[in-house]
Structure 1
Amino acid sequence: MRMTVTLSPQQASFVAETGALHIKAALDASALSDLFDALSGHAPEQAGTRLHGLAPLRPFLAHDGPVGRAAAAVLGNAARPVRAVYFDKTAQANWAVPWHQDRTIVVRDASRSPASVPGPSRAACSTSRRPARCSRAW
């Protein structure tokens, strides 16, 4: 099943202001089952584990995958994923985090983007953060 996302005027305004959007039911039951299978061999050490280079996840994030299509519907066809984070919210690993937008993205070469500001490096990944003048636009 191909998901179609149509934004209401309020959602479009929210995306323009915050750069974030919660899409309810973005994955159907079949896609959720496939995603569960793709992540079944990955047991995070802690909640909020970054999923870097996890091959079974690629079909979901690809431009024609269920997550990629959702991003393209909101951001346009040039949208590409920059990060995947595994949140394990079970009774044993539950934790409270207020809704927030990440302020850094993983980049291959932070020096190639003149608009970005180098950020911290974690797990052998370079990051870049948006300049303050763009903080409301990104």
Structure 2
Amino acid sequence: LAGGQHIESVFIPEERRTTICISSQVGCALGCAFCATAQMGFLSNLSSGEIVEQVLRVQQDTGRKITNVVLMGMGEPFLNYSRVIQACRIMSDPEGLAIAAKKITISTVGVVPRIRQFADERQPFSLAISLHAATQPLRQSIMP
């Protein structure tokens, strides 16, 4: 990225699909105890173009079309909501990357106002909520 910043994108090839796990931010502000990205702190939000570019670069590097996208890399996607949604629209647009909307999954640790907004807007993308613990006290001890 510009300014020497780095993000991660993970290519997950399988027999019937090719998945990429992509980042939405450089670093993360949430500080979850189990997450290496939390040690970086928050540096910046990615633009919608930088989010989409991760898919394009992996397709170019591997020569394989990406069929599934998970926004589960660095950062909390719902703390960069508008850019993430715009990137998902580009990825799912038939004139864009033409990845089926239901095969694009946005993962959140539970940013409730954005979950409500996502539902109210009836976004066509899949949603994953990462709980990380079976009980609320344990969850609160490892996540903000």
TM-score (norm 2): 0.27
When you count strand as a share of all residues, which structure comes out higher?
A: 2
When you count helix as a share of all residues, which structure comes out higher?
A: 2
Higher Cα Rg, which structure: 1
TM-score (norm 1): 0.28
